[in-house]
A and B are shown apart, each in its own frame.
Chain A
């Protein structure tokens, strides 16, 4: 409530200025019209830039999410959409076994409409080995596809069709004959005796083996816990002291408060209010947060998460109760960062990356505390006020970082970069004084897998 003196002043000054006019030059309207024309043009250009920026942001988000969904699709192939490498491997083995069969039949292989490809004879053990390897691979592929297992019935016809495409001359009938032949020969070892003296079949490639085993655990990104500090860049670079603007006052105050923990009184207003004035000091902003990273494409990741930042301002104040007091304002923000990261070095145990993006932060509370000092020079909490913070804080940043594997799924990482806090209608803080800042962030990453 305003006191009597304030009410008197209000009444007096509002009356005095109620009809207060200041004379303007005669041509003022013309000047205004000219100025308005320039402002309208500037406003139109600013609107275009904003629309473009919004379009870019939306495109980036759509592109990111599209890539994300595309990535999930290729991780779950169907029978009819096997990856090219899997098809190639399957076809290669089928082809080799097919050639073996022809050699058995004719002693020497001559494909229809083709020059001799393989002229070496084979022995029976090599053939058995080839066949069993082929079947194992069929089983492996079936397991990957989570389909009912019947290697001979399912895999062979599709593989034969592919063999047909590749070998350019092996008919389906011939291939079917081969299947029959293989089956019968597996049952009759005696029929294979005449082939025993033939040279060894070249060993079949086993490329799928590793795929079959490692595909059970694939990375789906990582989760990280981090701490970040920002040091604002001075507007005047010649002033070296500006780099270290946060002074010891804040820490001194903290020490005093911790030593003399006093009960907090919550007051909304007071006629004996202590006032917060000159010699303000802004402490380094510190953030804590959780980040989740999702791979988009090879080497590209989308990072997002949640962060908590505290901005502390302290200063000497004057008080009606005491000649000496200290004020402390804490602003607490929750933020959501969104970044795109690109790994330019991507080793299993070490990686280097660059990232760029932005964040949106919402102030959740502003707490003001005022401390007096007693005769022992110890700080005593005199008043505490809490209020909300309107609006949002937007920022843009670019960083470079490195990760190092500590243990299997556990990585340590460090990141440094620059951030620009877009000036907006937020309470005075370190960020409003230093909108451009450099940051250092470090934390632990947990690689996430799924079976």
Chain B
């Protein structure tokens, strides 16, 4: 039975490749990181694969974590990067949707969004085209700037803005259709 007093000790033990500590860390964060992966790929089994790939990286590179900033933030970045690598590798970033029927949305949609649960929102985000979904997740949920997103995805800043604007519009349209 592994007993840990604080996060710093847990990290130290993981850096020394203590398997019990690694298991403890996995159990502590797996479900949360699964939530991150699931938002990007919208497929449970694929998200689980990404979760495993992400943890392999976490345990491989945990020595590089020097205690600067939050450990959870560091892990989250690892999982986001893992998901982006998957999307890029499978060339799904270039999927496009027919947006010819988009219409402007009004502020009353915001109150609907506030009432929705995280699961419901994830489902709606998951139904967006991959490019839109990725940029939306990075910008609205992770809090990256368009400049950072452009560098992460290998696109231009303006493309990131465009994808986000379209994702936003499409998301509101879906919310109105489903819950309005």
Residues A13 and B121 in contact in the complex (CB < 8 Å), given A22-B38, A29-B23: yes
B39 near A370: Cβ-Cβ < 8 Å:
no
A276 near B156: Cβ-Cβ < 8 Å:
yes
Per-position binary interface string of chain A over residues 24-43, scored 1 when its CB falls under 8 Å from any chain B CB and 0 otherwise:
10001101100110010001
B32 in the interface, Cβ–Cβ < 8 Å?
yes
Binding-face segment, A186-194, A199-207, A333-341, A422-430: A422-430
B contact face: mostly helix, strand, loop, or mixed: helix
A39 near B27: Cβ-Cβ < 8 Å:
no
B55 near A32: Cβ-Cβ < 8 Å:
yes
- CB-CB < 8 A to A390: which residues of B? 151
B8 in the interface, Cβ–Cβ < 8 Å?
no
Per-position binary interface string of chain B over residues 138-180, scored 1 when its CB falls under 8 Å from any chain A CB and 0 otherwise:
0111010010000100111111011011101000000000000
Q: Which residues of chain A in 8-57 are interfacial with respect to chain B, using CB atoms and an 8 Å cutoff?
A: 8-10, 12-14, 16-17, 19-24, 28-29, 31-32, 35-36, 39, 43
Q: In this complex, what residue of A is CB-closest to B116?
A: A16
Total A-B residue contacts, Cβ distance less than 8 Å: 113
B156 near A329: Cβ-Cβ < 8 Å:
yes
B154 near A426: Cβ-Cβ < 8 Å:
yes
Task: Report the Cα distance A424→B155, complex, angstroms.
Answer: 14
Q: Which residues of chain A in 407-451 are interfacial with respect to chain B, using CB atoms and an 8 Å cutoff?
A: 425-428, 432
A275 in the interface, Cβ–Cβ < 8 Å?
yes
A contact face: mostly helix, strand, loop, or mixed: mixed
Q: Which residues of chain B in 102-141 are interfacial with respect to chain A, using CB atoms and an 8 Å cutoff?
A: 110, 113-114, 116-119, 121-122, 139-141
B96 in the interface, Cβ–Cβ < 8 Å?
yes
Task: Report the Cα distance A428→B47, complex, angstroms.
Answer: 25
- The tally of residues in A whose CB lies under 8 Å from a CB in B reads 46
B139 near A10: Cβ-Cβ < 8 Å:
yes
The interface of chain A, by Cβ under 8 A from chain B, is: 5-6, 8-10, 12-14, 16-17, 19-24, 28-29, 31-32, 35-36, 39, 43, 269, 273-278, 317-318, 327, 329, 366, 368, 370, 385, 387, 390, 425-428, 432
22 A-B residue contacts at CB 8 Å? A5-B168, A6-B168, A9-B140, A9-B168, A10-B140, A16-B118, A17-B118, A17-B121, A17-B141, A20-B118, A21-B35, A23-B31, A275-B159, A276-B156, A276-B162, A277-B96, A277-B162, A278-B96, A329-B156, A385-B158, A387-B156, A427-B156
The interface of chain B, by Cβ under 8 A from chain A, is: 23, 26-27, 30-32, 34-35, 38-39, 44, 47-48, 51-53, 55-56, 59-60, 96, 110, 113-114, 116-119, 121-122, 139-141, 143, 146, 151, 154-159, 161-162, 164-166, 168
